[in-house]
Amino acid sequence: MVKIGIINAGHANYHSIINAIKFCGYEYILIDKPVKNDISHLILPGVGDFGTVAKKLRKTKLDKYIMNHIDRKRMFLGICVGFQLMFSESEESKNIKGLNIFDGKIEKLDKYIKIVPNIGWHNVSTRNSKIFDKKSKNTFYFAHSFCLADNRQKNYSSSITLNRKKIITSIEKDNIFGVQFHPEKSAKSGIKLLNNFCSYKI
Protein backbone atom coordinates (compact mmCIF):
# COMPACT_ATOMS: atom_id res chain seq x y z
CA MET A 1 0.00 0.00 0.00
CA VAL A 2 1.29 3.44 -0.94
CA LYS A 3 1.53 5.85 1.99
CA ILE A 4 3.35 9.17 1.70
CA GLY A 5 5.36 10.63 4.57
CA ILE A 6 6.20 14.35 4.52
CA ILE A 7 9.07 15.39 6.80
CA ASN A 8 8.46 18.48 8.95
CA ALA A 9 11.95 19.88 9.41
CA GLY A 10 11.53 23.63 9.48
CA HIS A 11 9.85 26.34 7.46
CA ALA A 12 8.36 24.71 4.40
CA ASN A 13 5.23 25.14 2.36
CA TYR A 14 3.63 21.94 3.62
CA HIS A 15 0.14 23.00 2.63
CA SER A 16 1.08 23.13 -1.06
CA ILE A 17 2.80 19.74 -0.90
CA ILE A 18 -0.06 18.18 1.04
CA ASN A 19 -2.61 19.59 -1.41
CA ALA A 20 -0.61 18.23 -4.35
CA ILE A 21 -0.35 14.76 -2.77
CA LYS A 22 -4.08 14.77 -1.98
CA PHE A 23 -4.83 15.86 -5.56
CA CYS A 24 -2.83 12.85 -6.78
CA GLY A 25 -5.09 10.65 -4.63
CA TYR A 26 -2.63 9.40 -2.01
CA GLU A 27 -2.72 9.15 1.77
CA TYR A 28 -0.13 11.19 3.63
CA ILE A 29 1.24 11.75 7.12
CA LEU A 30 3.21 14.79 8.36
CA ILE A 31 6.27 13.54 10.24
CA ASP A 32 8.07 15.60 12.91
CA LYS A 33 9.70 12.65 14.71
CA PRO A 34 10.54 9.04 13.83
CA VAL A 35 7.37 6.98 13.50
CA LYS A 36 6.58 3.30 13.11
CA ASN A 37 4.09 3.89 10.30
CA ASP A 38 4.85 1.79 7.25
CA ILE A 39 5.71 4.69 4.95
CA SER A 40 6.37 3.62 1.37
CA HIS A 41 7.36 7.05 -0.03
CA LEU A 42 9.11 9.79 1.96
CA ILE A 43 9.41 13.47 0.98
CA LEU A 44 11.87 15.95 2.51
CA PRO A 45 10.80 19.48 1.53
CA GLY A 46 12.75 22.53 2.54
CA VAL A 47 12.41 26.29 2.70
CA GLY A 48 15.03 28.19 4.66
CA ASP A 49 18.72 27.61 5.17
CA PHE A 50 20.74 24.42 4.94
CA GLY A 51 22.11 24.58 8.49
CA THR A 52 18.82 25.14 10.27
CA VAL A 53 17.14 22.21 8.57
CA ALA A 54 20.19 19.95 9.06
CA LYS A 55 20.26 20.73 12.79
CA LYS A 56 16.53 20.10 13.12
CA LEU A 57 16.87 16.72 11.42
CA ARG A 58 19.66 15.65 13.76
CA LYS A 59 17.97 17.00 16.89
CA THR A 60 14.81 15.02 16.16
CA LYS A 61 16.76 11.99 14.84
CA LEU A 62 14.93 12.32 11.55
CA ASP A 63 18.30 12.10 9.77
CA LYS A 64 18.62 8.48 10.89
CA TYR A 65 14.96 7.88 10.08
CA ILE A 66 15.54 9.10 6.52
CA MET A 67 18.66 6.99 6.04
CA ASN A 68 16.90 3.90 7.41
CA HIS A 69 14.02 4.50 5.01
CA ILE A 70 16.46 4.71 2.10
CA ASP A 71 18.40 1.63 3.25
CA ARG A 72 15.13 -0.31 3.23
CA LYS A 73 14.84 0.51 -0.50
CA ARG A 74 11.82 2.74 0.04
CA MET A 75 11.21 5.74 -2.20
CA PHE A 76 12.71 9.09 -1.14
CA LEU A 77 12.39 12.58 -2.65
CA GLY A 78 14.23 15.73 -1.54
CA ILE A 79 12.82 19.11 -2.66
CA CYS A 80 14.73 22.44 -2.81
CA VAL A 81 16.73 22.63 0.46
CA GLY A 82 15.73 18.99 0.92
CA PHE A 83 17.57 18.32 -2.36
CA GLN A 84 20.61 20.29 -1.18
CA LEU A 85 20.72 18.36 2.10
CA MET A 86 21.19 15.14 0.16
CA PHE A 87 24.78 16.26 -0.44
CA SER A 88 27.83 16.55 1.81
CA GLU A 89 28.01 20.26 2.61
CA SER A 90 26.92 23.75 1.65
CA GLU A 91 28.56 27.17 1.46
CA GLU A 92 25.39 28.49 3.11
CA SER A 93 26.21 26.82 6.43
CA LYS A 94 29.90 26.12 6.97
CA ASN A 95 30.96 23.22 9.20
CA ILE A 96 27.48 21.70 9.08
CA LYS A 97 27.22 18.39 7.28
CA GLY A 98 24.37 17.35 5.04
CA LEU A 99 22.94 13.85 4.88
CA ASN A 100 25.83 12.87 2.58
CA ILE A 101 23.68 10.58 0.46
CA PHE A 102 25.74 11.86 -2.45
CA ASP A 103 29.21 13.42 -2.46
CA GLY A 104 28.96 17.05 -3.48
CA LYS A 105 29.08 20.66 -2.30
CA ILE A 106 26.25 23.18 -2.59
CA GLU A 107 27.60 26.52 -3.80
CA LYS A 108 26.49 30.15 -3.81
CA LEU A 109 24.45 30.83 -6.93
CA ASP A 110 25.83 34.37 -7.22
CA LYS A 111 29.08 32.85 -8.47
CA TYR A 112 27.26 32.18 -11.74
CA ILE A 113 24.46 34.72 -12.10
CA LYS A 114 24.06 38.38 -11.09
CA ILE A 115 20.45 38.33 -9.91
CA VAL A 116 19.93 36.12 -6.86
CA PRO A 117 17.73 34.39 -5.87
CA ASN A 118 16.86 32.66 -9.12
CA ILE A 119 13.07 32.91 -9.09
CA GLY A 120 10.91 31.84 -11.98
CA TRP A 121 10.07 29.14 -14.49
CA HIS A 122 12.62 27.13 -16.44
CA ASN A 123 12.36 24.33 -18.97
CA VAL A 124 14.19 21.23 -17.75
CA SER A 125 15.57 18.72 -20.22
CA THR A 126 15.67 15.22 -18.80
CA ARG A 127 17.30 11.93 -19.65
CA ASN A 128 16.58 8.36 -18.60
CA SER A 129 14.30 9.48 -15.78
CA LYS A 130 11.81 7.38 -13.83
CA ILE A 131 9.65 10.29 -12.66
CA PHE A 132 9.85 13.05 -15.28
CA ASP A 133 7.16 13.00 -17.94
CA LYS A 134 8.72 11.78 -21.17
CA LYS A 135 5.84 12.90 -23.40
CA SER A 136 5.48 16.58 -22.50
CA LYS A 137 7.51 19.69 -21.83
CA ASN A 138 8.82 19.81 -18.28
CA THR A 139 8.63 23.39 -16.98
CA PHE A 140 9.17 23.96 -13.27
CA TYR A 141 9.20 26.81 -10.76
CA PHE A 142 12.51 27.67 -9.08
CA ALA A 143 13.30 29.82 -6.03
CA HIS A 144 16.86 29.37 -4.76
CA SER A 145 20.11 31.19 -3.95
CA PHE A 146 22.36 28.13 -3.76
CA CYS A 147 22.97 25.37 -6.26
CA LEU A 148 24.78 22.18 -7.18
CA ALA A 149 27.11 23.11 -10.03
CA ASP A 150 29.87 20.53 -9.57
CA ASN A 151 29.24 17.64 -11.95
CA ARG A 152 31.03 14.99 -9.92
CA GLN A 153 27.77 13.04 -9.75
CA LYS A 154 27.16 11.11 -12.95
CA ASN A 155 23.61 10.04 -12.07
CA TYR A 156 21.96 13.46 -12.33
CA SER A 157 19.07 13.51 -14.76
CA SER A 158 18.59 17.18 -15.59
CA SER A 159 20.06 20.65 -15.61
CA ILE A 160 19.30 24.22 -16.60
CA THR A 161 21.77 26.73 -18.00
CA LEU A 162 22.12 30.03 -16.16
CA ASN A 163 24.59 32.51 -17.63
CA ARG A 164 26.23 29.70 -19.64
CA LYS A 165 26.74 27.57 -16.53
CA LYS A 166 24.90 24.29 -16.13
CA ILE A 167 23.17 23.98 -12.78
CA ILE A 168 22.10 20.49 -11.74
CA THR A 169 18.39 20.50 -11.06
CA SER A 170 17.64 16.87 -10.27
CA ILE A 171 19.34 13.65 -9.33
CA GLU A 172 18.07 10.11 -9.18
CA LYS A 173 19.60 6.78 -8.35
CA ASP A 174 17.66 3.61 -7.58
CA ASN A 175 15.06 4.64 -4.96
CA ILE A 176 16.54 8.12 -4.31
CA PHE A 177 15.34 11.29 -6.04
CA GLY A 178 15.99 14.98 -5.54
CA VAL A 179 14.85 18.16 -7.30
CA GLN A 180 16.05 21.76 -6.84
CA PHE A 181 12.77 23.23 -8.10
CA HIS A 182 9.35 23.18 -6.41
CA PRO A 183 7.07 20.60 -8.03
CA GLU A 184 4.25 21.54 -5.63
CA LYS A 185 4.27 25.03 -7.19
CA SER A 186 4.82 23.92 -10.79
CA ALA A 187 1.25 23.36 -12.03
CA LYS A 188 0.73 20.39 -14.36
CA SER A 189 4.42 19.50 -14.70
CA GLY A 190 4.84 19.39 -10.93
CA ILE A 191 1.68 17.37 -10.30
CA LYS A 192 2.75 14.88 -12.96
CA LEU A 193 6.21 14.49 -11.40
CA LEU A 194 4.81 14.03 -7.89
CA ASN A 195 2.25 11.53 -9.15
CA ASN A 196 4.99 9.60 -10.97
CA PHE A 197 7.08 9.55 -7.79
CA CYS A 198 4.20 8.40 -5.60
CA SER A 199 3.20 5.66 -8.02
CA TYR A 200 6.72 4.39 -8.66
CA LYS A 201 7.86 1.22 -6.93
CA ILE A 202 11.31 -0.37 -6.90
- Contacts (Cβ under 8 Å, ≥6 apart) of 38: 1, 3
Per-residue confidence at 13, pLDDT binned at 50, 70, 90? low
13-39 burial code (b ≥16 CB/10 A, e <16): bbeebeebbeebebebeebeeeeeeeb
Q: Check whether the bond before 117 is cis (ω within 30° of 0).
A: yes
Residue 175 confidence (pLDDT) above 90:
yes
Q: Quote the pLDDT of residue 160.
A: 80
Residue 12 confidence (pLDDT) above 70:
no
Per-residue confidence at 150, pLDDT binned at 50, 70, 90? confident
Residue 127 confidence (pLDDT) above 70:
yes
Q: Quote the pLDDT of residue 201.
A: 83
Q: Please, what is the average pLDDT of the chain?
A: 90
Domains of the chain: residue spans and CATH: 3-199 (3.40.50.880)
pTM > 0.85: yes
Per-residue confidence at 128, pLDDT binned at 50, 70, 90? confident
Is residue 198 annotated as part of the catalytic site, yes or no?
A: no
- Beta strands, E only, the chain: 3-7, 27-31, 41-44, 75-79, 89-90, 105-108, 118-123, 125-126, 139-144, 146-147, 156-162, 165-173, 176-179
pLDDT tens-digit series, residues 31-60: 999 988 789 999 999 778 899 999 999 999
Active site residue: 69, 144, 182, 198, which one? 182
Work out the number of other CB atoms within 10 angstroms of the CB of residue 179.
28
Per-residue confidence at 134, pLDDT binned at 50, 70, 90? confident
Work out the number of other CB atoms within 10 angstroms of the CB of residue 141.
17
Query: Region 176-199: what's the mean pLDDT?
Result: 95
Active site residue: 24, 41, 69, 80, which one? 80
Is residue 92 annotated as part of the catalytic site, yes or no?
A: no
Active site residue: 89, 122, 184, 198, which one? 184
Query: Region 167-183: what's the mean pLDDT?
Result: 94
Higher pLDDT, 20 or 12: 20
| Spatial separation of the C-alpha atoms in residues 10 and 14, rounded to whole Å | 10
Query: Region 172-201: what's the mean pLDDT?
Result: 95
pLDDT tens-digit series, residues 52-105: 999 999 999 999 999 999 999 999 999 999 999 999 999 999 999 999 999 999
Is residue 24 annotated as part of the catalytic site, yes or no?
A: no
Residue 187 confidence (pLDDT) above 70:
yes
Query: Region 126-139: what's the mean pLDDT?
Result: 84
- Contacts (Cβ under 8 Å, ≥6 apart) of 195: 24
